[in-house]
Amino acid sequence: MVEPDDVRRMAAAIEGALDVSDELRLGFEVAGAGKGFAWSFNERVHPKKPRVPRRDILAVRCPIERKEFLIEAAPDRFFDDDHYRGYPAVLVRLDVVEAEELAGLLADAARIVAAMKPRKSRKRG
């Protein structure tokens, strides 16, 4: 079982990681990339109502192929939903994932984001 504070410690150990979490959600970015590598899952509890953050489920960026492999190999720990289908992030149940496994996923996710081109800022005018 991994608690939100454990996730924050794991992310803090990753070079260049920024913790952008708040009271409701976990969120982690790579400095200078402008993109997240892990964040709390926002669940659609009621149709046509805002999504609700779940601190017990973390979305972690990864290649689609790895996502599919993880879900097939361990559906008790990893899953997908309609909102994330086709998106390069896997949903992780923190109450059943092993700490070492999650730490590796987070480190890989941060490397993926660090390798991406930074977002261009929009010019206003």
Domain limits, the chain: 4-115
Cβ proximity of 39 and 26 under 8 Å: yes
- Summary mean pLDDT of the chain: 92
pLDDT value at residue 44:
86
Q: pTM of the prediction?
A: 0.89
Domain 4-115 has CATH 3.30.750.24: no
Contact 96, 76 (CB under 8 A): yes
Q: What pLDDT is stored for residue 125 in this prediction?
A: 47
* Cα–Cα distance measured from residue 15 to residue 36, given in angstroms and rounded to the nearest whole number: 14
Which residues face 36 on adjacent strands? Answer: 29
How far out from the chain centre does Cα 35 lie? 11
pLDDT in tens, 37-71: 999 999 888 888 999 999 999 999 999 999 999 99
Burial class (CB within 10 angstroms; exposed 0-12, middle 13-18, buried 19+) of 83: middle
